[in-house]
């Protein structure tokens, strides 16, 4: 039986990289080649790291190469009847027939609970569900915001680029948040911090802003590090916010005025 290939070097590199671990800690394990099919003894204590839907184990916290990988798809995680006398055990059981469950044990009840929770939510499908839900919530939020604006500021929106609200919300490649203080100084600081993200942009790849761009929602790419372009682009948000405020304080129809650039 030919062994299946896997890009192991890349997998190990990913395991050791500084991308955020979703959970980590010591667990006792009974899995692995050469171990008996039924768990016995106290198990082997390893350092486990959960990244996304991948559970890695290392000999120690300083381990330079993962010992094992468990892919957390098509599985359920449940508290286990410990092999005597092990406490705080839990099992990863796979839906697919013929795939042996993994038995693991934590050091205490809190750790056990935290691990079961983290592993239960580790699947790609779960993450995708949450992302899609948020995507639709964002669409709804934008839609109602657009409706509100459109009815109030017809004169302004006719002068702004279409889907103006998408401009200022689309562009946060690395999730930097625009500060609540929308003064020009705050913008300068935000703008200045953006280029730092660019070094990794190539490998960080198509972040959500790019996805939105791909749908043609902004003629200005948030990936441009040209500050004046970014400044203009964020500047639109300021102008619109200023008009809302003006309208609400003056209680009058907004006039079609020349947009003055900050």
Partner 1 sequence: MRYNEKELQALSRQPAEMAAELGMRGPKKGSVVKRRLVKLVVNFLFYFRTDEAEPVGALLLEHCRVAQEEPSGFSISFLEDPERKYHFECCSEEQCQEWMAALRRASYEFMRRSLIFYRNEIQKMTGKDPLEQFGISEEARFQLSGLKA
Interacting positions 27-86 with partner 1 (CB under 8 A):
32-33, 51-54, 65-71, 73-74
Nearer to partner 1, 70 or 105 (CB): 70
In b/e form, how buried is each residue of 109-120, taking b as 16+ CB within 10 angstroms? eebbeebbebbb
Q: How many CA atoms lie within 13 A of 212 on its CB side?
A: 23
Closest distance of CB 67 from partner 1, Å: 6
Residues that bind partner 1 (rule: CB under 8 A) add up to a total of: 76
Interaction of residue 146 with partner 1, rule CB under 8 A: no
Measuring CA to CA, how many Å separate 50 from each of 19, 34, 45, 146? 11, 24, 16, 40
Q: Pairing relation of β-strands 68-71 and 54-58?
A: antiparallel
Per CB under 8 A, the segment of 39-47, 121-129, 182-190, 227-235 that binds partner 1 is: 121-129
Question: For residue 51, what are the contacts with CB-CB under 8 A and spacing of at least 6?
Answer: 14, 15, 19, 20, 21, 22
Binding part of the chain for partner 1, among 105-113, 192-200, 218-226, 244-252 by CB under 8 A, reads 192-200
Chosen residue from 127, 155, 241, 246 binding partner 1 by CB under 8 A: 127
Q: Report the residue from 146, 152, 163, 174 that binds partner 1 according to the rule CB under 8 A.
A: 174
The nearer residue to partner 1, 121 or 231, going by C-beta atoms, is: 121
Asked whether position 94 contacts partner 1 by CB under 8 A, the answer is: yes
CA distance 59 to 31: 13
The answer to whether 121 contacts partner 1 (rule: CB under 8 A) is yes
Of 125, 162, 184, 192, which one interacts with partner 1 (CB under 8 A)?
Answer: 125
Do the beta carbons of residue 102 and residue 31 sit within 8 Å?
A: yes
For the bound state, the minimum distance from the C-beta of residue 17 to partner 1, rounded and expressed in Å, comes to: 7
Among candidates 130, 151, 132, 129, which has minimal Cα distance to 140? 132
Site for partner 1 in 198-257 (CB under 8 A): 200, 202-209, 211, 214
């Amino acid at each position: 039986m030919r062994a299946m290939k896997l890009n192991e070097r890349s997998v190990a590199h990913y395991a050791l990289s500084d991308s955020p671990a979703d959970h980590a800690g010591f667990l006792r394990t009974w899995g692995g080649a050469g171990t008996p099919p039924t768990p016995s003894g106290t198990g082997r204590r390893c350092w486990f790291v959960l990244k996304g839907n991948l559970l890695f184990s290392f000999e120690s916290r300083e381990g330079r190469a993962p010992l094992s990988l468990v892919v957390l798809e098509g599985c359920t995680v449940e508290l286990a009847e410990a092999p005597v006398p092990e406490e705080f055990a839990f099992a990863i059981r796979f839906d697919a027939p013929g795939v042996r469950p993994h038995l693991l044990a934590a050091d205490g009840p809190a750790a056990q609970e935290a691990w079961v929770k983290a592993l239960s939510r580790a699947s790609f499908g779960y993450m995708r569900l949450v992302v899609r839900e948020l995507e639709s919530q964002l669409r709804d939020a934008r839609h109602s915001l657009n409706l509100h604006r459109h009815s109030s500021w017809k004169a302004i929106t006719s002068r702004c680029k279409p889907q103006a609200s998408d401009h200022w919300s689309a562009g946060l490649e690395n999730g930097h948040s625009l500060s609540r203080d929308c003064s020009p100084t705050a913008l300068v600081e935000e703008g200045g911090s953006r280029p730092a993200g660019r070094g990794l942009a190539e490998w960080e790849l198509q972040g959500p802003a790019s996805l939105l761009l791909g749908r043609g929602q902004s003629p200005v790419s948030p990936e441009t590090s040209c500050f004046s372009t970014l400044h203009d682009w964020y500047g639109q948000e300021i102008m619109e916010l200023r008009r809302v405020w003006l309208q609400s304080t003056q209680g009058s129809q907004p006039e079609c005025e020349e947009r003055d650039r900050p």
